Amino acid sequence: MSGKASEQEISQSVLDFVKDGAYPDSELIVASGFPISILSKELELISKAREQVEAEISFLSRENNFDADGWISQAKQLHADIERSRVTAREIVEQHEKTNPLQLRVEDASAKVDLIETEIAFNQAVASALKEVQSLCGQLDEGRTALDEGRIMPAIEILEATEQAITQSSHFSNTNVLHILLESVAGLRKDVMEAVRNRWNKQLNIDKTEGKMVVSDNDGDSLEETIVALTRLQMFSATRDLFQKDAMSSIVDPILLPAVPEYSHGLRISGSSIHLEPQPSTASVSELLDRIVNVLGFMRQSLPPSIADSFSDIFIPNLSSKIIEFWLSPAIPTELEGLKQFEENLDHVLEFTKTVENYGWHGQEELVSWINHAPRLWLARRRVDSLDQVRKILAASQGITEQVERVEVEKVSESDGALLENATSDDWDAGWDDDNDDGSKEKQAGIKEDEEDVSAWGLDDDTEEHNTQVKQTTDDDDEGDAWGWGDDDEEQPTDNSQPKASVATKTVNGKGAAQHASPREVILREKYTITDIPNSILGVVRQQVKDSEVISQPVHSHSRIISSGTGLLALPTLILAMFKATASTFYGLKLSSGQMYLYNDSLYLADQVRNIMEEHQLTRLQTDIDALEKFGKFAYSKEMQTQRTIVTDLLDGAQGFSQCSEQPFLGECENAIGATVDRIRDVFREWQPILSHSALLQSIGSLVSTMISKIIIEIEDLGDISEPQSQRLVSFCNQVTQLEDLFIPEALDNTERLPMTAVYVRNWLKFQYLVNILESSLADIKFLWVEGELRLEFSPEEVVDLIEALFAESDYRRKAIADIRRASRGQ
Which of 149-153, 206-210, 765-769 bottoms out in mean pLDDT, i.e. has the lowest? 149-153
Bigger pLDDT: 295 or 185? 295
Chain centroid to Cα 322, Å, comes to 31
CB atoms within 10 A of CB 347: 12
Q: Is-contact 557 625, C-beta < 8 A?
A: no
Q: What is the 3-state secondary structure (H, E, C) of 722-759?
A: CHHHHHHHHHHHHHHHHHHHHHCCCCCCCCCCCCCHHH
Q: How far is CA 35 from CA 3, 30, 42, 256, 799, in A?
A: 16, 13, 11, 143, 131
Bigger pLDDT: 3 or 591? 591
Q: What is the 3-state secondary structure (H, E, C) of 321-349?
A: HHHHHHHHCCCCCCCHHHHHHHHHHHHHH
Cα distance between the two ends of the chain:
138
pLDDT, residue 689, reads 93
Q: How far is CA 163 from CA 56, 127, 145, 218, 321, in A?
A: 111, 21, 17, 29, 45
Q: How far is CA 169 from CA 45, 126, 135, 221, in A?
A: 112, 13, 12, 35
Contacts 24+ apart (CB under 8 A), 79-84: none
558, with CB counted inside 10 A (0-12, 13-18, 19+), is exposed
Q: Is-contact 456 699, C-beta < 8 A?
A: no
pLDDT, residue 175, reads 65
CA 72 – CA 65 distance, rounded (Å)? 15
For residues 592-615, one letter each, b for 16 or more C-beta atoms within 10 angstroms of the residue's C-beta and e for the rest, the string is ebbbbbbbbbbbbbbbbbbebbee
Q: Regarding beta strands 273-276 and 267-270, do their DSSP bridges make them parallel or antiparallel, or are they unpaired? A: antiparallel
Is residue 364 over pLDDT 70?
yes
CATH number of 643-825: 1.10.357.150
Highest mean predicted confidence (pLDDT) among 123-132, 471-480, 726-735: 726-735
Q: Is-contact 695 496, C-beta < 8 A?
A: yes
Average pLDDT, the chain: 79
pLDDT grade, residue 822 (50/70/90)? confident
Rg (CA), the chain: 62
pLDDT, residue 491, reads 53
pLDDT, residue 443, reads 32
**If you average pLDDT over residues 802-827, what whole number do you get?**
84
| Strand ranges for 49-150 from DSSP E | none
pLDDT, residue 219, reads 52
Is residue 119 over pLDDT 80?
yes
pLDDT grade, residue 291 (50/70/90)? very high
Which of 54-58, 172-176, 360-364, 537-541 bottoms out in mean pLDDT, i.e. has the lowest? 172-176
CB atoms within 10 A of CB 698: 27
CA 341 – CA 337 distance, rounded (Å)? 8
CA 790 – CA 780 distance, rounded (Å)? 11
Q: Of the candidates 754, 755, 770, which has an alpha carbon nearest to the alpha carbon of residue 708?
A: 770
pLDDT, residue 676, reads 94
CB atoms within 10 A of CB 77: 9
SS3 state of residue 402? strand
pLDDT grade, residue 517 (50/70/90)? very low
Q: Is-contact 324 352, C-beta < 8 A?
A: no
Q: What is the 3-state secondary structure (H, E, C) of 231-272?
A: HHCCCHHHHHHHHHHHHHHHHHHHHHCCCCCCEECCEEEECC
User: For the packed helices 474-483 and 461-468, what is the interaxial angle rounded to 10 degrees?
Assistant: 110
Q: Is-contact 560 552, C-beta < 8 A?
A: no
Tens digits of residue pLDDT in 456-502: 333 333 333 333 333 333 333 333 333 333 333 445 555 443 333 33
Is residue 414 over pLDDT 60?
no
pLDDT grade, residue 15 (50/70/90)? confident
CA 318 – CA 312 distance, rounded (Å)? 10
CA 292 – CA 274 distance, rounded (Å)? 12
Q: Of the candidates 234, 227, 232, which has an alpha carbon nearest to the alpha carbon of residue 309?
A: 227
440: left (phi over 0), alpha (psi -120 to 50) or beta: beta
pLDDT grade, residue 420 (50/70/90)? very low
Q: Which residue type occupies 550? A: V
CB atoms within 10 A of CB 635: 25
pLDDT, residue 129, reads 67
CA 392 – CA 595 distance, rounded (Å)? 20
Q: What is the DSSP string of 406-422?
A: EEEEEEE-HHHHHHHHH
Is residue 826 over pLDDT 70?
no
Q: What is the DSSP string of 596-658?
A: HHHHHHHHHHHHHHHHHHHHHT-GGGHHHHHHHHHHHHHHHHHHHHHHHHHHHHHHGGGGGGT
Which of 479-493, 548-562, 638-652 bottoms out in mean pLDDT, i.e. has the lowest? 479-493
CA 30 – CA 686 distance, rounded (Å)? 135
CB atoms within 10 A of CB 157: 14
Q: What is the DSSP string of 742-807?
A: GGPPP-SSS------HHHHSTTHHHHHHHHHHHTS-HHHHHHHHHTSSGGGTS-HHHHHHHHHHHS
CA 204 – CA 209 distance, rounded (Å)? 15
Q: Is-contact 225 152, C-beta < 8 A?
A: yes
pLDDT grade, residue 764 (50/70/90)? very high
Which of 71-75, 221-225, 607-611, 649-653 bottoms out in mean pLDDT, i.e. has the lowest? 71-75
pLDDT, residue 239, reads 92
Peptide bond into 796 cis (omega under 30): no
pLDDT, residue 64, reads 59
Is residue 214 over pLDDT 50?
yes
pLDDT grade, residue 327 (50/70/90)? very high
Domain ranges of the chain: 7-63, 70-195, 196-377, 396-641, 643-825
Which of 68-77, 304-313, 674-683, 779-788 bottoms out in mean pLDDT, i.e. has the lowest? 68-77
Is residue 122 over pLDDT 60?
yes
Is residue 237 over pLDDT 60?
yes
pLDDT, residue 209, reads 87
pLDDT grade, residue 438 (50/70/90)? very low
pLDDT, residue 61, reads 66
Give CA torsion, residues 331, 332, 337, 340, to 10 deg: 80
Q: Of the candidates 392, 400, 637, which has an alpha carbon nearest to the alpha carbon of residue 530?
A: 400
CA 565 – CA 574 distance, rounded (Å)? 16
User: For the packed helices 723-737 and 665-687, what is the interaxial angle rounded to 10 degrees?
Assistant: 10
pLDDT, residue 289, reads 94
**Residues 607, 612, 613, CA angle at the centre, nearest 5°?**
90
pLDDT, residue 115, reads 87
CB atoms within 10 A of CB 284: 16
**Half-sphere exposure (Cβ direction) of 717: Cα atoms closer than 13 Å:** 11
Q: Go through the chain and tell me how many residues it has.
A: 827
